[in-house]
Structure 1
């Protein structure tokens, strides 16, 4: 809830601010132990900040205190930028991000920042569970009265039990390896943001064969979405 977000954000802000000052006053040589430790702290702080932001956004949209900023949006442009930004992380994880964006998809009325957030969360989820040395597919196509975005991995898949509850907040797979990080917020937020766009987020998965998350966004939303006017 909002109180939890506040309790997390206050000390996190202090940590990030202090870390920035420490980085400025510490002239650590590249490759030194001090430099590596500071980099590790920065990575951990950035991850915690991103998860806190996701939790705050989920609470805000569910309570109605946060609003979309919709406008005519080129989904290919949004997805292409998202893929380009995350590609180095995929390479670091030993995965290849394969992108297929149909040029025939019309613009949709959407909040491009929130669409980016949906796809970023889905891609980062696929990065966690994709088969080592394999690929993750990001696709955009025109469906019947909807733009269809798919993120497909070829990892272990999701059990029927977990599929029934995977978009609930704080729910994680029952058979996850303990070293896989997460708070069970990313998919819940992605689902909520899809609903805010009058769209859907669904999952098709088979154990041992991977998972496909599918976002469908209406091509004609009547020029208006909940929480804001199209500009």
Structure 2
């Protein structure tokens, strides 16, 4: 039986004496052993997860490299063909190839950015940015796209011109990802709003749409890479990286 001994000095019948206390610490030892087992289990699980993340990152990095290598000459070749091909039908075929190759190249770049974000290696070029001017330009660019697909796009911006410290290209990328996500999930005839508000020294930017909404279970995984709701897996193209990348860039 595990015991704990403690002693204390006291006066007993006018004389200095030592009092010894003996305590059964069986329950304490059992609790400590259980905690140690739980700690070791948690450590093993954490190491396994870290190893899985490392393997996934290495695999994705290798995949990106393998995809990027052949797509670069394809893009260069289609650019040359567009200058040389004369017939209308041939022009359309080459343009179709160019659009598909460019789309694949964007997907590869998204994968690359996601890997860099997860490993803390995503470069940011911070500088003063006229946020309202940038958001207004994005609105002008996306309005024809929204109208073509049957949506209305409203841009609601402050009258002032706040300057924020940001990477201009990444800022634009985040907003574009949010808008493209809204376009995917808003039914035709719906409304999309790009809004910015000054909140003290900060600028809050949000995208609102009239889509069907997101249930609580899906909200928990909304920013997970590659995640798609079951009902959207057949309907939507892409890798499901837009929101995950936006979150990584913001963080």
Instruction: Indicate the TM-score class for this superposition, using the shorter chain for normalisation.
Output: 0.7 to 0.9
Shift of 1:177: 5.9
Higher helix share: 2
Q: Indicate the residue corresponding to 1:67 in structure 2.
A: 123
Q: Indicate the residue corresponding to 1:179 in structure 2.
A: 235
Q: Which runs of at least 4 in structure 1 moved beyond 3 Å after TM superposition?
A: none
TM-score, reference length from structure 2: 0.71
For the pair 1:5 / 2:64, whether they are aligned, the reply is yes
Shift of 1:82: 1.6
Where structure 2 has 5 or more consecutive residues not aligned to the other structure, the ranges are: 1-59
Match of 2:247 among 188, 191, 206: 191
Rg: which structure is higher?
A: 2
- The 2-side partners of 1:129 and 1:43 are apart by 23
Q: How does 1:76-225 map to 2 (within 5 A)?
A: 76-104=132-160, 106-176=162-232, 178-195=234-251
Spell out, residue by residue over 1:38-65, the C-alpha distance to the aligned partner (whole angstroms, 9 max, x if none).
2222221221111211111111122232
Contact persistence 2:151–2:190 (CA under 8 A)? yes
For the pair 1:23 / 2:82, whether they are aligned, the reply is yes
Contact persistence 2:132–2:162 (CA under 8 A)? no
- The 1-side partners of 2:101 and 2:203 are apart by 35
Contact persistence 1:141–1:147 (CA under 8 A)? yes
Q: Indicate the residue corresponding to 1:53 in structure 2.
A: 109
Shift of 1:147: 1.3
Spell out, residue by residue over 1:52-108, the C-alpha distance to the aligned partner (whole angstroms, 9 max, x if none).
111111111222322211112221111112222222222222212110111246322
Spell out, residue by residue over 1:18-38, the C-alpha distance to the aligned partner (whole angstroms, 9 max, x if none).
222222221123xxx333322
- The 1-side partners of 2:84 and 2:95 are apart by 15
Higher relative contact order (CA 8 A, sep 6+): 1
Contact persistence 1:162–1:174 (CA under 8 A)? no
Shift of 1:110: 1.0
TM-score, reference length from structure 1: 0.77
| Residue-pair matches, total | 192
Q: Indicate the residue corresponding to 2:93 in structure 1.
A: 37
